[in-house]
Structure 1
């Protein structure tokens, strides 16, 4: 590639994949060149290995994601513990509690949401979760699990950026109070939030451990605050049991 080798070329290749993935229809090479701000010849140089390796497919209307992306996703799910076993754990927890059941997989230092599974019924409250670093980690039960398991350096980075933003009047916005909360979570094995991330939503979560004993994710239940108050111990017991089962299958 003229003028571009090494890390810059790799960055551009990944940018092509991201642009195609974000599109709702096939993307033309000219549109990719505009999106990247580079020459059309550069885009074709990037597209060639991506199509040859099956990461992109050329159609009549432009480029779409190829079959190799699906293979990568299946490998990612396997490595993240997102198997049919997890779906079974969530389904049983949902049936036992009549509450929205979630599994959140962590990556890196534990503060990156890698993927989310949810078993719910129409009309139930559920957390609004997305992959990546969630600035509401200190407000959601599943995020508190991740913070409680993370090392001091990772927690310090979180306190610095994105920081303890307040999302509701109940959100923990003090580093000292958060530290007390995380110590309690490590002691009890369960995290709670009651309208800390969203008004009208309460969550409770427990950690899922990998084969080496590290926290790789969490199972959680999402209910209305009044439901948590009425069935607190039942829900805590259910989420901790589900976490143990998920850990055994991880």
Structure 2
């Protein structure tokens, strides 16, 4: 006999259904009709209509003149409270702008979420080399400069998960071997910088450095992405390091207050992902 109040079906809880509706929206499909939401979530029309109505009333969704729904500003308002969001972005922007003015290419700030990176900010010129990234977008960490800089300083258990794979291939230069990834992460820790050469697109080169927080843990990574055939990565290493150090200092990182190691004692890192 079923006990009172106990679920008898396998219907997912309301929270999961609501999150499923929000996840139905993507950069490729930012506006969805109710029918499309039902198709993407598998929810019955009546259930979707009720939940979407509640989300609209709260402000998580907005309905346009054509009847399609979009993500609402209320979600942006809530997301702005994330500790790795606006505060980190505001501290980083002056240094990102300096890097951008020096190259008019892509300057990016990202954080680690599992085995992926999430981009908090990107500055880009009209003629900058093409990148797939966008603010709020995700990308596999092993294939990006910011991802390698973050993975190198991540929890060892997470590093082992990344090394165990699978590692998605984008180009012939993408790191797809766990042994290779382990070696490169050790090199990033040794040199303090990650160079991702042609791992996502063969014509793009990324140089990244970790950003440290108030307790000196790595909280983000700063990178610049330039045309691979127009730049020597070694010329970008000092400015990216300096930018990351400036952000770390603005965040109160103790290590960023100490004088940096002499450039004469530092060996130039070799490009990774070849």
Which TM-score applies when normalising by structure 1?
0.79
Q: In structure 1, what is the Cα distance between the partners aligned to 2:163 and 2:192?
A: 22
5+ residue gaps, structure 1, are none
Does the CA contact (< 8 Å) of 1:164 and 1:174 recur in 2?
no
Which residue of structure 2 aligns with residue 197 of structure 1? 200
1:27 aligns with 2:33: yes
Q: In structure 1, what is the Cα distance between the partners aligned to 2:170 and 2:77?
A: 40
Q: In structure 1, what is the Cα distance between the partners aligned to 2:60 and 2:175?
A: 43
Change (3 A) 1:113 1:164: closer
1:181 aligns with 2:187: no
Which residue of structure 1 aligns with residue 48 of structure 2? 43
Q: In structure 2, what is the Cα distance between the partners aligned to 1:183 and 1:227?
A: 27
Q: Secondary structure at the match of 1:202?
A: strand
Between 86-95 and 150-159, the greater mean CA deviation after superposition: 150-159
Which residue of structure 2 aligns with residue 93 of structure 1? 99
CA deviation string 1:112-168 (max 9, x = no partner) = 32224222222221432263351xx33332221122112232122223333263622
Which residue of structure 1 aligns with residue 22 of structure 2? 17
Deviation at 1:99, TM superposition (A): 4.8
Q: In structure 2, what is the Cα distance between the partners aligned to 1:39 and 1:11?
A: 14
1:139 aligns with 2:159: no
Alignment of 1:93-242 (within 5 A): 93-96=99-102, 98-109=103-114, 111-129=115-133, 131-134=137-140, 137-163=141-167, 165=169, 167-168=171-172, 170-229=173-232, 232=234, 234-242=235-243
Aligned pairs, how many?
A: 241
Change (3 A) 1:198 1:39: closer
5+ residue gaps, structure 2, are 1-6, 252-274
Deviation at 1:12, TM superposition (A): 0.9
Q: Secondary structure at the match of 2:152?
A: helix
Deviation at 1:180, TM superposition (A): 2.3
Does the CA contact (< 8 Å) of 1:201 and 1:223 recur in 2?
yes
1:74 aligns with 2:75: no
**Aligned-residue RMSD, C-alpha:** 3.1
Q: In structure 2, what is the Cα distance between the partners aligned to 1:239 and 1:15?
A: 39
Q: In structure 2, what is the Cα distance between the partners aligned to 1:122 and 1:103?
A: 15
Change (3 A) 1:246 1:5: farther
Which TM-score applies when normalising by structure 2?
0.73
Q: In structure 2, what is the Cα distance between the partners aligned to 1:46 and 1:182?
A: 45
Does the CA contact (< 8 Å) of 1:203 and 1:222 recur in 2?
yes
